[in-house]
Structure 1
Amino acid sequence: MTMPLDRLAALAGRSWRVAPLPGGLTNTNVRVTTDDGVEPALDLVVRCSHAGADLLGIDRAAERDNTAAAASAGVGAPVVDYRPDLGMLVIGYLHATALTDGSFADEAVMARAAAAVRRLHAGPRFTGDFDMFARRAAYLSTISDRGLRLPADYTAYADAWEDVRRALAVSPPPTVPCNNDLLAANFLDDGERVWLIDYEYSGNNDPSFELGNTVAECGFTPEQRDAWVEAYVGSPTAADLARVRLQALCSCYGWSLWGFIQAALSPIEFDFWDWGMERFEKAQALFGAADFPTLLAEAAAGG
């Protein structure tokens, strides 16, 4: 993808170097550093979005607003420029290292990551709300309307999904600004603090979804899952732990549809079907867990 970087105000009259950045299944990311000796020197990330974001429920204007709000909360990169006409969002480069799933085995890393999530959740309200029950319904409608491929037994869990929705709706906490897509690579660690990036799916949401999403995406063991909730909450109740486990299920069951849509429509060479199936199979395991009825009861009981 060719980016018209010369049309960005921050780079007008400057010379620069460009280096590709890994990741990005709905956008192309590059690092741009000025090399002309003019102050201030710039070190930027330019995110150029791909077509089809509307089918995935991505609101690019909200992404820009919420990226700026995260920066105000002290947990995200500053927004330098936003050019919707070019499909570009320009943010400051964060000098930190992306985490991997294995990084969370370090208790200090987990503590810094949980502190970052708390800072985000305590920060300015976001533009827009996020609810995985509504998001899943929209994704399922897109799949149905376009006749896209879906696992034959995906809808067999409709009744159990409704049970989860009812349990989580009994005593919901106030919504907070959430990233909603905190896989390991969206945590950047500089050794002293963790930063959070990528606000494509951000919106005000139940904080337990944020925690459960990371549990699911990072493949936490049961022990890591409980340590993660404790690092965020302090002294979690049975209801806190149950809500996070159910929200991990919601993450897997809902985001699997994202993968199935991408498998049919994305031009990127990536096995989106396998990505979706991995999450669907995790959801199946949680739906079928022996303690699933107990989780529903504990989440509904609150306290």
Structure 2
Amino acid sequence: MSVPGDLDRLATLAGRSWRASELPGGLTNHNLHVVTDDDGPPLDLVVRCSSGDAALLGIDRDAEHVNTARAATAGVGAAVVEYRPDLAMLVIEYLHAEALQDADFTDAGVLGRAARACRQLHAGPRFVGDFDMFQRQADYRRTVRERGFALPPTYDDHAAAWAEVQRALQVHPRPTVPCNNDLLAANHLDDGERVWLIDYEYSGNNEACFELGNTATECGFTPEQTEAWVEAYFDHPTRADLARVRLQTLVSAYGWSLWGFIQAATSPIDHDFWAWGLEHLERAEAVFGGPDLEGWLRDVAA
């Protein structure tokens, strides 16, 4: 796309002089930092320009817009400035904070700030739509099958164990809360005093333990880090709390691996999505074949 021409069509920037620079990251978005440089009221913005087939990945851009605004209302996200679905653009305020990396979570202060941000999001206004990784996994698997996309030969070997995990989590279902559902390290912005949460493409009401388990998976937490993470969120977690989050790390890894394989077949972005999906599948397979799964299943169903 012609970035300058498209940006000039935004009402926020109409008649303004501005400069734009690329922001790193974004595997389904092209993100720009836009700052005005004229005599008008200063604007410091991020323009999220959508790319790819959002429907293929189960992304609802209208819901993303609403939920981004609700996360801002909860006090953990950037305020929405303008939404232009006709331009595939969402304009939000720029947050002056640093994107976290996996290693940052070894700092107890960072871990605590991230946990507080999650609790604040989860206590905020309900989101538009629900997110259930078991349904998402089934939808992704159907897409792979119907489109003939490549899939590692061992993926379906775990179907019976996957169903057992789902049954165990349903024995004592927990209420849903507004969740980001994609809190990899870079979607946490830390200003030293608080952590902000960004990128609501996959947001929806979900069980809080999925949010925690997904973060543990995406940020490569050790078992000890996962335990500290659960304690930071719950304060006094039960055995079932910890087991539930650990099970959800498996749910996240196995379900999201299909996202990588779909992206590998369809995305125009220069990124090794196949390796990304394979890494997540290998994490899941290590749990499926490991010694801990049976105990976790017992603990969440007890």
For Structure 1 versus Structure 2, the TM-score category normalised by the shorter chain is: over 0.9
Query: Match for residue 188 of structure 1?
Result: 189
* 2:40 is equivalent to residue 33 of structure 1: no
Query: Match for residue 236 of structure 1?
Result: 237
1:136-165: CA deviation from partner (whole Å, max 9, x where unpaired)? 000000000000100101000000000000
CA RMSD of aligned residues (A): 0.6
1:1-303 mapped onto 2 (5 Å cutoff):
1-3=1-3, 4-39=6-41, 41-301=42-302
Write the distance in 2 (CA, Å) between the matches of 1:38 and 1:177: 37
Unaligned runs of 5+ in 2: none
Is the 8 Å Cα contact of residues 80 and 91 (structure 2) preserved in structure 1?
yes
Write the distance in 2 (CA, Å) between the matches of 1:2 and 1:218: 34
Q: Give 1:105 deviation, angstroms.
A: 0.9
1:180-200: CA deviation from partner (whole Å, max 9, x where unpaired)? 000000000001000000000
Give the secondary structure class of the aligned counterpart of 2:240.
helix
Write the distance in 1 (CA, Å) between the matches of 2:182 and 2:292: 26
AA in 2 matched with 1:153: T
Q: Give 1:2 deviation, angstroms.
A: 2.2
Write the distance in 1 (CA, Å) between the matches of 2:254 and 2:103: 23
Q: Give 1:299 deviation, angstroms.
A: 0.8
Q: Provide TM-score, normalisation by structure 1.
A: 0.98
Write the distance in 2 (CA, Å) between the matches of 1:282 and 1:51: 27
1:30-67: CA deviation from partner (whole Å, max 9, x where unpaired)? 0000000212x000000010130100000000000000
Write the distance in 2 (CA, Å) between the matches of 1:60 and 1:164: 30
Number of matched residues?
Answer: 300
1:191-230: CA deviation from partner (whole Å, max 9, x where unpaired)? 1000000000000001000000000000011111000000
Q: Give 1:289 deviation, angstroms.
A: 1.5
Write the distance in 2 (CA, Å) between the matches of 1:291 and 1:105: 23
Percent of pairs identical after alignment?
A: 68
Give the secondary structure class of the aligned counterpart of 2:34.
strand
Give the secondary structure class of the aligned counterpart of 1:23.
coil
AA in 1 matched with 2:54: A
Q: Give 1:288 deviation, angstroms.
A: 1.2
Is the 8 Å Cα contact of residues 264 and 274 (structure 2) preserved in structure 1?
yes
Q: Provide TM-score, normalisation by structure 2.
A: 0.99
